[in-house]
């Protein structure tokens, strides 16, 4: 009889321990917009990593990158996750772990080569919610790279 009483008590104790750990783990995840953020994306292959943005940072390219980042009601945009300001606080940001990048934090992209940013936009970031954007042209991706650099200033 004592054995039957102990089983529910053990189950309750294990359940309480699991809930405590889950609460701790949820608090341990960095909030959207943190600066700096830990990195989760691997290094791009050398043929991408070493590329420099071939587009000049003209007002036209900067404006096109900003428009693509912010998006329109008809087109999905980067801002849905990264926020209109690029601060990592978009409407969907809280549902991702790790949270979207905060591009307004200079420490987020200082030292990250243009080619690495191009590769992440084009192919996504495994282990994160960043999807590949393979329907964008190379020019559109490079314009986005320019915009990300502007956000970090």
Task: Give the Å distances, CA to CA, from 29 to 53, 96, 97, 139, 148.
Answer: 33, 10, 7, 35, 24
Say how far apart CA 124 and CA 57 lie, in whole Å: 24
Q: Do 69 and 12 reside in the same domain of the chain?
A: no
User: Same domain for 70 and 117?
Assistant: yes
The runs of H, that is alpha helices, within 29-137 are 46-49, 59-70, 79-82, 106-109, 114-123
- Number of domains composing the chain: 2
Please report the sign of the dihedral spanned by the C-alpha atoms of residue 33, residue 129, residue 92, residue 21.
Answer: negative
**Domain encompassing residue 12:** 1-30
**Does 60 share its domain with 118?**
yes
Quick check: 114 and 108 in contact, CB under 8 A? Answer: no
Helices and strands in the chain, H and E counts: 7, 0
Tokens for 47, please give them: 């043929």
Q: Are residues 8 and 62 in the same domain?
A: no
**Do 23 and 37 lie in a common domain?**
no
Same domain? 73 vs 88: yes
Same domain, 24 and 71: no
Q: Is 143 exposed, middle or buried (0-12, 13-18, 19+ CB in 10 A)?
A: buried
Cβ-based neighbour number of residue 78 at 10 Å: 24
Residues 44 and 76 in one domain: yes
Residue 98's domain is classified under what CATH number?
1.10.760.10
Q: Along the 153 residues of the chain, how does pLDDT read in single tens digits?
A: 555 555 455 544 444 444 444 433 444 556 888 898 888 899 999 999 999 999 999 999 999 999 999 997 767 699 999 999 999 999 999 999 999 999 999 998 888 999 999 999 999 999 899 999 999 999 999 999 999 999 998
| pTM of the predicted structure, to 2 decimals | 0.78
Are residues 74 and 147 located together in one domain of the fold?
yes
Whether 86 and 130 share a structural domain: yes
* Six token digits for residue 101: 């990048």
């Amino acid at each position: 009889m004592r054995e039957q009483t102990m089983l529910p008590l053990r189950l309750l104790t294990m359940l309480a321990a699991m809930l405590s750990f889950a609460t701790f783990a949820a608090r341990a995840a960095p909030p959207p917009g943190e600066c700096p953020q830990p990195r989760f994306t691997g290094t791009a292959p050398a043929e991408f990593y070493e590329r420099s943005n071939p587009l000049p940072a003209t007002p036209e390219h900067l404006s096109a990158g900003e428009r693509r980042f912010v998006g329109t009601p008809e087109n999905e945009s980067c801002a849905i996750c990264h926020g209109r300001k690029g601060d990592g606080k978009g409407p969907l940001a809280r549902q991702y772990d790790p949270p979207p990048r905060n591009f307004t934090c200079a420490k987020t992209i200082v030292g990250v080569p243009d080619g690495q940013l191009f590769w992440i936009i084009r192919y996504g970031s495994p282990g994160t919610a960043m999807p590949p954007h393979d329907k964008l042209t190379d020019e559109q991706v490079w314009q986005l790279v320019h915009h990300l650099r502007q956000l970090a200033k």
